[in-house]
Structure 1
Amino acid sequence: MTSTAAPFQPLRGRLKANVPLAPRSWFRTGGQADWLFVPQDEEDLATALQQSPPDMPLTVLGACSNIIIRDGGLAGLTLRLAGGFAQIEADGDGLIAGAAALDSSVAETAARAGMAGFAFLSTIPGSIGGAVRMNAGAYEGDMASLLDWVEILTREGTYQRLPAADLHMGYRHTTLPDGAIVLRARLKAQGAEDPALIQEAMHVMRAKREASQPLRARTGGSTFRNPEGHKAWELIDATGCRGLRHGGAQISEKHCNFMLNTGHATSTELEDLGEMVRARVLAQSGIELQWEIKRLGRLSHPA
């Protein structure tokens, strides 16, 4: 447990100590946040950043769809953006989307406006801030194909607008300044298209995803990145890890690049299962799988 003496002057948003995070995670596992702050607006967020000690750990949580929050919880200050941070607005030939806007909501907004290129976002269960940070992609689309610019707050609480060309976006990676918090992004359409055709394309994508992935389970999406020239699930399947269990954690029978919480898993069991798979793939193929799921926080509970 952390001290209940807040390390900040009064803020307008919601600041709470020792907040359980498992209910927010798609895996439904993990420990507490020492401090969880939901800022009222950007000014409130900047104030919190300016007041926070430079050595205080800082974590930003989005939809929590592709992370493991470790059992020891998150040290320091954890931020969750909501409310006005989820706004989506038309901007000429594109959209400006807040960091907390759901990827699927952005896809639907673009479809109604007849903006092409956004359909893949309908299959990604996250928010725009995380999508920018990891250059999220699916069905031959990714954020690099859409991003015009991104606005951030630095760790010191100052604003910057960065053009996409400065971010060196690659496979599941975007280069952002250390500690940067994404506020919003401008996404440029790849031309115009009949809204009905876009909706149909999204329907097909979602149906394919539903048929091939364990979407109704407690999961965290793709566990490992695809190594160049390979598919992670094929490498995992070749080792016989499909359905492998460790405590309450399991490799999905439906798609073996997905891990599941079968009901009572801990974050440690999930992470250990992932490492078991990595070791088996390395031993058999010589290929070292890299985690796509972000693993955050302390391995064990603080004293």
Structure 2
Amino acid sequence: MSDDVNLIGGAPIGGSRGLFSIRRVGVLGYHTFQQLVRMRVFYFLAIFAVILIASSLFVLRYNSPEQELKILKDFGLGAMTLFVSVFAVVATSMLIPKDIEDRTLYTVLSKPVLRIEYLLGKLVGVVALLGVSLVVMDALFTGVLYLREVAVMDEQVRQLEAAGYSDDAIEAVRQLVSKAGVTWSLQVGVFAVLCKGVVLAALTLLVSTVASSSLFTMVVAITAFFVGHVQADVRAFYEASGLGGGVMSVISAVMVLMFPDFQMFNVVDAAVGGEVLGWDVAGTLGGLAGGYVLVYVLLAWVAFFDKEL
């Protein structure tokens, strides 16, 4: 990796490391992605596929047709969230300690590479891993859901035709099953999963710049993941009950600053229920994720800037 970075790195200016370079970030991101692939994290995708297919074939067949599809969607998006979160935490937490252990970090930073470029390159590599993993999971999930939707649709139509229902009644059932199956809103839900994973990866990167070990980074990141999912409910409870007064307001403000509010990305229930989620929702999710990532990367840069290596 050091050779590639050296080839694209500009000459130092006045003894400094030069101007910020997107190309250096890209090279670092590419090699980070390759590094993560060599760790064989994609083996988890085989587990995801087995669980998803098994659930579609055995667990859900006793529910009503529409409810079956909704449960399958809920299960699939939940599994995606779990796997992407695990990828984000585990992959990101190992990068800097492994580079220090292999002395790769010293080689990279001895070149005309800014520390912010190094951090961004690591994050870009992790985001690429999350994106590729989610594309594969989404393809598997959508394929299984579509096949199940077709099977449910055919079975329902046959039963209704045998019972002598009218064409209008059969068409109404078709629309109901289609709404519970593969829709655009489902892809917005998948995008929300990606946004949460990217935010979690950026937070894990921040923790790793000050942590002493990968294990500590994982523990803090996992704690932040769970706190981020419940903090909105806890704030709402205390605000409604009036407990704590001004002290709880201060604690609530600190919690918002320390932990991302993952409830803001929660559109899974709407996607599962068949609600229409448009580009505006996807844009809002992307904007929220971008804001969190910007803050966490800047804080990581500040923490990493004067770090003795």
Q: TM-score, normalised by structure 2?
A: 0.27
Choose between structure 1 and 2: higher strand proportion. 1
Q: TM-score, normalised by structure 1?
A: 0.28
- Say which one has the larger Rg: 2
- The structure showing larger relative contact order (alpha-carbon pairs under 8 Å, at least 6 residues apart) is 2
